[in-house]
Structure 1
Amino acid sequence: MKQTGMNREQGKGRSAAQPTVFGSHIGLFTAADDGAPKSDLAVLFLNPWGIEEMCTRRLYRVLAERLAEIGIASLRFDYPGTANSLDHTPAERGLSGWSEVIGKAAEELKVLSGARSLVFLGQGIGASLALMQVRSEPSLAAIALLAPVLKGRAYLRELSLFSRLIDDGLGIKPELRDGAPGSIAGLRMPPAVANDLRTLDLNNVEIGTKPQIFLAERPGLEGDTAFRDSLQAAGCQLRTTPFAGYDALVSNPLNQEIPDALNDELVEWLQSLPQYRIPSAPPARSPVAIASIHSAKMRETFLRFGPQDRLYGVLCEPTEAFVGVTAVILTTAYDHAAGWARSSVELARELAAIGVSSLRFDSAGVGDSPPVAGRRKQVLYDESQIADVEIARDFIDSLGIAARTILIGRCSGAYVAFRSVLADPRWDACMIVNPVAFRWRFKGLPKTLKAYMRNVFDMETVRRLWNGEVDLGAVTKNISVRLVDRAATGLSPVFAPARPLTQLTAQVHRDFQSLANRGAVLSIIYTEGDDGQEMFRINFGDAGERLAAYPNVQLHLFPDADHNLTPLPARQKMIELAKLQALALGHPRQGKRLAIC
């Protein structure tokens, strides 16, 4: 039986990709595996934009690891103004600036791999840029186009519609939505890029040379079919396939599914290229020992750490005085080290501006960090991530920057942060945003009782149940937990045996007391109306009145925001709170309670 990409992902452990720097840009280089024949073919991955980039981050890593197994090296990187990159002038030059960086990345890949023939593999905008590079990259042997953006003006309209759907689903008020062209889920497309997209039409791109092309078409889209026909008419050597699983990959980062069948086809196609069977030359050089980039107020070093160098992260340090405080910023299971709407990047750089260092990293199986064999495929609210936090703590200890520390997380990252601070007394403070629970008894990510009742009458939910797309066992368990918790909360004042039935009535309060005894500062942020408050109220009362027993705990309620802090004002408010908390750690005589609501 053919081994699928996901089976491979759950197999042997491996190191994270090797960070490398070219100019002021950072890349992640994956060399061919030891023992694999080194091919003269290397692959440069070109990112899509926005939510699609977040959804394909793990796909690109999985593909890079599969290619390494068959002797093909690869390089991944972020365009200027996106993800973990610097925000500087190439982003202001639009698509031409992005294309220039693609050219530099291609040269870096050839130098590091020794390969003389390249394949550009891109999705969305990345696929469009791959085709546009054909005339300017002489070493380009083939291109892989996954659901390319064909007409930029139509794409901007689609993004606007998708953005409204996301904002509606997140419950974001109309006045707080970002209506700039190309913006989606709190990510603002560089204006010059949006302007260039208005004139993009792949059907008018002059290819010149005729590289081999792999085209993954979105099923049922006439535009993709017409584009395929135009490539064939131009004499391109074309292999086409339906992009099976496209919607499941890009529609929701929380539930993204790796398209294993497409990965298999891509690997088979690459092995069929004549350049694959030619051995590569020796690499001209190795990746730099320290992959760092600089701006006026901070220095970011992209690195691997932990056993087998299996975790990937970014150390962000102030270029001026260090105040002696370091933050570790956790991801959720569905965004990567840059954070939702680049929130982790913004937070890290704002902290550096006031003298606070930080480490943001991907836990195993998330983003750019490979999985660990034996762990669940979906690491959402997974206790195993606590071990990764401990590794991160050991790492900052080894750097000598852990005199005073704060751990920060949102959603499932908030849960992992809370449990990690409890497990490890080395942490001085913890800031958690919208935790669903403080101890976990659910299966998967639960909804509120109100949401479950509302879905009972939703025809789409009925359809998904009928087709077996809903885990009925998980739904049943989660509803039962919610009902028992509510019933036990009401009975506990008069019926003592009911008290232990509430999820955290006794256990959570012991946890909170443990942190209070240590003097560890705990800041809890909820956005008004967030689902996580259902369990919080069971534990601490409707107004959080039972928190009064813990003087080390601060509760903050943010209005006009969603679970992910998508609106910019909410993210800025969280960042300001984190800065004050970090500075208070650096100056403990000022006290640990902050007057912010």
Structure 2
Amino acid sequence: MSDPMVTSVKQSARAPTNSVPPHDVVASAAIPVTMDGMFGHLHPASGETGVVFCAPWGFDALCTVKFHRLIAADLAQRGYPAIRFDYPGEGDSLPVEAGATFDIWVAGALRAAEELRDRTGCSRIIYYGMGIGAAVALRAGQQDANLAGYVLAASTLNGRRYLRETALREKIIEDGLAIDFGYPEGSTVLASFIMDPHLAADLKALTVSIDGMTAGLPTLVLARPENAADIELAEQMSSAGAAVECIDFSGYGAMLDGVVTSPIPLELIDTIGNWFSRNIPQDTGSLARQAADNEPPALQTSMFRERPEIVDSRLFGISCAPRLGGEKAVIILLNMAYAPHTGWGRIWVETARTLARQGIATLRVDLSNIGDSPADPKGPDQVVYSEDQLNDVHAVVRHVRNSTKAPILLAGICSGAHSALCAGATNAEVAGIVSINQLRLVLDPDEDVDSLLMAGARPLSDYKRRATSLSTYKRVFSGEVNIPKAAWNIASHARDRVLRGISPYLGGFTKLGRLRGRLFALLRRLEDRKVPVIFISCRTDGSLDQQRLYFGKTLAGQRAFPGLRHILLENADHTLSPPSVRQHVIGILAEAAEESAKRG
């Protein structure tokens, strides 16, 4: 659905960070499965050897969903069936009432292997594990009589060391953010993911041994650059009798730093696939039964029911509805950049299940080339802020409308908020919009999207403070600060401040005046349809600066739109990390849905 107010965006001249391998463009979404409260994705094939993916924890899992989907899809094309799954209490899986432990995670991996065998007829299993998932993979393999080998990536086998490294990473994330995160006392946290305390207690005493390795067992180790522990693990496994090949985990650091830009090491995917082809016999098995169920799988509790949704045979999502049905409204929860549908810190999972208890349904969805949704064969590599992404949103709205008569709302954070606003303005089925921390109310068509995504989310005041900080000078001289990127960000903020002052007098003669005209045209369309818009912003990420840029320092310009409401979140960051802030935002979403239901 094309619209003159939605412009194409400038693509970077360099190689796109989110390029897609050819095998993804022809792939459809994997087959969703449920297993004893766990959610998984099955990639069927007819080979005798299957692969079970044991993901890392929390933020690292969020950053690698797409990477692991691409590996699994490639292996399935080579004849190796694969299954990816969410540990109990993680991702889309249900919580564990008594708390998730390390042994429960291992049992989850073994249950996923059982599911893979039942559905595809494979007999032997290779366990792939990344990060702390490598410890899960090793433990599961040691309990599997038909173990075929391991793939161990950026492995962590010592739980206490892992917890120390996690705490250090979180300290770096929180550095300089003058907010009270309010996480539970003594909790293990990384980028708003809070680890189950039972699991954290287990990890303090965890050391996974590699004794008793089967002679000649095929093992691939993906070693982080300059990481002595990964090299040592490969040597130890070789000494224990395994047939080990150790390769560089190229692109590891960029991938874990780049959930908003989705840099995927494509060559590594081919390298892994070629290792399988060389080392794992590709005997063809007989399919035990149909890989897909006749009835769609579902996870449910006494309060909500969740089931997978495949939109246009390609876009993957999870609908969450009140257990007894009869939803008052449906909120479509959109991706923030390349963060998958579960959301940063599982915010969309928490949101969906909380709202279902209040009679409000949701659909958390991955748009093209994000998370569990493959790329559109005809779409661009860079999908964020693109018109193609808006077309995906329209397809999702049509999908929801085909199943309910309830009001449909759109909600998103950052780029997801931009998609909600632009798509909502041109879609008559949308009854409400909630925009959270939107850093671009409208996009400058000359702006490079890759640069925008990599710039991060900081207000001008933060750049001023850091510029006069002694620690910043030290980081500049040590090479830690990206000077060109920082200069671009500061110049951008300064330019916006100047333009904000003069554009009211020059109107469409300035670029800001023209962009303001586009924004106001969108808002007038929504006013004409009586569609309420809620802008939520905070002080720490630049979203409030963006509101002031278009509506004035006091936001007086918003008075021209009676259906527009602005809410300023205090003690909040861009990704809504503090648990109390999340609950506040969920309450705003619930109120918006209730109001839409009353209007009918």
1:516–1:143 Cα change, 3 Å: same
1:433-452 → structure 2 map (5 Å cutoff):
433-441=436-444, 442-444=447-449, 445=452
1:61–1:397 Cα change, 3 Å: same
1:572-587 → structure 2 map (5 Å cutoff):
572-587=583-598
1:286–1:443 Cα change, 3 Å: same
User: In the aligned structure 1, how far is the partner of 2:558 from the partner of 2:19?
Assistant: 44
1:166–1:141 Cα change, 3 Å: same
The question of 1:287 aligning with 2:292 is answered yes
2:11 is matched with: none
User: In the aligned structure 1, how far is the partner of 2:595 from the partner of 2:420?
Assistant: 19
1:397–1:216 Cα change, 3 Å: same
2:396 is matched with: 392
1:594 is matched with: none
Maintained 8 Å contact 1:167/1:177 = no
1:19 is matched with: 32
What's the offset of the Cα at 1:519?
Answer: 0.5
User: In the aligned structure 2, how far is the partner of 1:11 from the partner of 1:150?
Assistant: 32
SS of 1:320's equivalent? coil
Deviates more, 1:239-248 or 1:431-440: 239-248
1:309-388 → structure 2 map (5 Å cutoff):
309-320=313-324, 322-388=326-392
1:52–1:500 Cα change, 3 Å: closer
1:165 is matched with: 172
2:12 is matched with: none
User: In the aligned structure 2, how far is the partner of 1:229 from the partner of 1:74?
Assistant: 27
Percent of aligned pairs sharing the same letter:
27
1:592 is matched with: none
Maintained 8 Å contact 1:156/1:181 = no
Q: Which amino acid aligns with 2:331?
A: A
1:394-409 → structure 2 map (5 Å cutoff):
394-399=398-403, 401-409=404-412
Match of 1:562 among 569, 573, 579: 573
1:68 is matched with: 76
The question of 1:425 aligning with 2:428 is answered yes
1:494–1:205 Cα change, 3 Å: same
Maintained 8 Å contact 1:430/1:520 = yes
Which has the higher relative contact order, 1 or 2, with Cα contacts under 8 A spaced 6 or more apart?
A: 2
1:451–1:172 Cα change, 3 Å: closer
The question of 1:521 aligning with 2:532 is answered yes
Maintained 8 Å contact 1:172/1:562 = no
User: In the aligned structure 1, how far is the partner of 2:507 from the partner of 2:42?
Assistant: 59
What's the offset of the Cα at 1:114?
Answer: 1.7
Structure 2: which 5+ residue stretches go unaligned?
Answer: 1-16
1:270–1:6 Cα change, 3 Å: farther
Deviates more, 1:427-436 or 1:376-385: 376-385
User: In the aligned structure 1, how far is the partner of 2:311 from the partner of 2:51?
Assistant: 25
SS of 2:307's equivalent? strand
1:265-284 → structure 2 map (5 Å cutoff):
265-276=271-282, 278-284=283-289
1:251–1:193 Cα change, 3 Å: same
Q: Which amino acid aligns with 2:47?
A: S
SS of 2:320's equivalent? strand
Deviates more, 1:140-149 or 1:502-511: 502-511
Deviates more, 1:110-119 or 1:140-149: 110-119
2:42 is matched with: 29
Match of 1:130 among 137, 141, 150: 137
Q: Which amino acid aligns with 1:80?
A: P
Structure 1: which 5+ residue stretches go unaligned?
Answer: 33-37, 590-597
What's the offset of the Cα at 1:249?
Answer: 1.7
What's the offset of the Cα at 1:439?
Answer: 1.3
Deviates more, 1:402-411 or 1:141-150: 402-411
User: In the aligned structure 1, how far is the partner of 2:138 from the partner of 2:418?
Assistant: 43
Maintained 8 Å contact 1:214/1:238 = yes
What's the offset of the Cα at 1:178?
Answer: 5.2
Cα deviation per residue 1:204-262 (whole Å; 9 max; x = unaligned)?
A: 65546763211112232332233222212211111111222221122342244222333
1:150-229 → structure 2 map (5 Å cutoff):
150-168=157-175, 171=177, 173-174=179-180, 176-177=182-183, 180-203=186-209, 206-207=212-213, 211-229=217-235
Q: Aligned-residue CA RMSD in angstroms?
A: 2.8
User: In the aligned structure 1, how far is the partner of 2:322 from the partner of 2:203?
Assistant: 36
What's the offset of the Cα at 1:334?
Answer: 2.5
1:262 is matched with: 268
Q: Which amino acid aligns with 1:73?
A: P
Cα deviation per residue 1:453-493 (whole Å; 9 max; x = unaligned)?
A: 86798686799899xx8988x986x7776555443432245
User: In the aligned structure 2, how far is the partner of 1:586 from the partner of 1:222?
Assistant: 58
Maintained 8 Å contact 1:58/1:366 = yes
1:462–1:390 Cα change, 3 Å: farther
Maintained 8 Å contact 1:63/1:263 = yes
User: In the aligned structure 1, how far is the partner of 2:281 from the partner of 2:507?
Assistant: 74
Give TM-score, length-normalised by structure 2. 0.88
What's the offset of the Cα at 1:538?
Answer: 1.7
Question: Size of the alignment, in residue pairs?
Answer: 571
Cα deviation per residue 1:532-588 (whole Å; 9 max; x = unaligned)?
A: 222221211112111112111111011001011011011010001111111122223
Cα deviation per residue 1:381-417 (whole Å; 9 max; x = unaligned)?
A: 2232111111111111111x14311111111100000
1:385–1:109 Cα change, 3 Å: same
